[in-house]
Amino acid sequence: MININDLSKVYKTYHNEVTALDNINITIREGDFLAVVGKSGCGKTTLLNILAGLLQATSGSFDYKGISVVDMNKRSLDQYRREHVGIILQNFSLLNDRNVYENIELPLKIRQYEKRKRNDLVWEYLEKMDMLDKINAYPRQLSGGQKQRIAIARALASAPDIILADEPTGSLDESNAGQIIDILGEIANNGKIVIMVTHNMDLVSKCNRIVKLVDGKLAERS
């Protein structure tokens, strides 16, 4: 379970301050498939980055399973991400000098999965993404939609407790987008936490919770 209490993020520049998140309070439980919606610039991606331990909040707190994440040092944050979090980013973040197999395998290596298990998981998730024929391809040889599916396979293969997805279907056609949402929903149904930022309101009907951010504030819950 994730508890978020009075969480705020203020970006300071030389001339002014911009409040990206303003006293967010929400509890997210195992099995939740939570959609975070709102206009560009409302704080959605900032929230995701804080939950991933990639960005420090200005004030407030959040804890995972009763352990405060905002108080963790760098080493503990690295461990938190490695052991609990899978991240799907808009820009894919694939390694250009590694092929598809190696990109998906890397986080499994970091988590010290043995070689046969790594191989089985890479093949399993490539098959789910209908990308087995690209197993030896490099990112430069892939379309945007194909890169997105590889990034999703990489995030899911190590079975993290928390999936943080920033516009995970942004580069996909309607059919493939629906497939990805079904997979994320299945993961939530298996007791994981899935948090998805999206502009696509056609997709949120498959989520069991929806929150809307407006100017950094939680404006709606359903």
- pLDDT tens digit sequence for 122-154: 999 999 999 999 999 999 999 888 998 899 899
pLDDT category of residue 179 using cuts at 50, 70 and 90:
confident
Mean pLDDT across 151-164: 92
The predicted pLDDT at position 144 comes to 86
When pLDDT is averaged across residues 93-109 and rounded to a whole number, the result is 94
User: Please, which residues have CB within 8 angstroms of residue 116's CB and are 6 or more apart in sequence?
Assistant: none
Q: Which two tokens stand for residue 31?
A: 């099995």
At 177 the pLDDT is 83
Tell me, what's the pLDDT at 222? 67
State the pTM of this model: 0.88
pLDDT band at 183 (very low <50, low <70, confident <90, very high): confident
pLDDT for the residue 104: 96
Q: Do 128 and 205 contact (CB within 8 A), yes or no?
A: no
Question: What pLDDT score does 58 carry?
Answer: 95
Convert the pLDDT of each residue in 61-72 to its tens digit: 999 999 999 899
C-alpha to C-alpha distances, 64 to 51, 128, 214, nearest whole angstrom: 9, 29, 25
List of domains in the chain: 2-221 (3.40.50.300)
13 pLDDT band, cuts 50/70/90, is confident
pLDDT digits (tens, 9 = 90+) for 35-85: 999 888 889 999 999 999 999 999 999 999 999 998 999 999 999 998 899
Nearest to 60 by CA among 11, 36, 24: 24
Quick one: pLDDT at residue 135? 96
More reliable by pLDDT, 99 or 91: 99
Residue 89 has pLDDT above 90, yes or no: no
Instruction: List strands edge to edge, sheet with 17-28.
Output: 17-28, 2-12, 59-64, 67-68
| Residue 140 pLDDT | 95
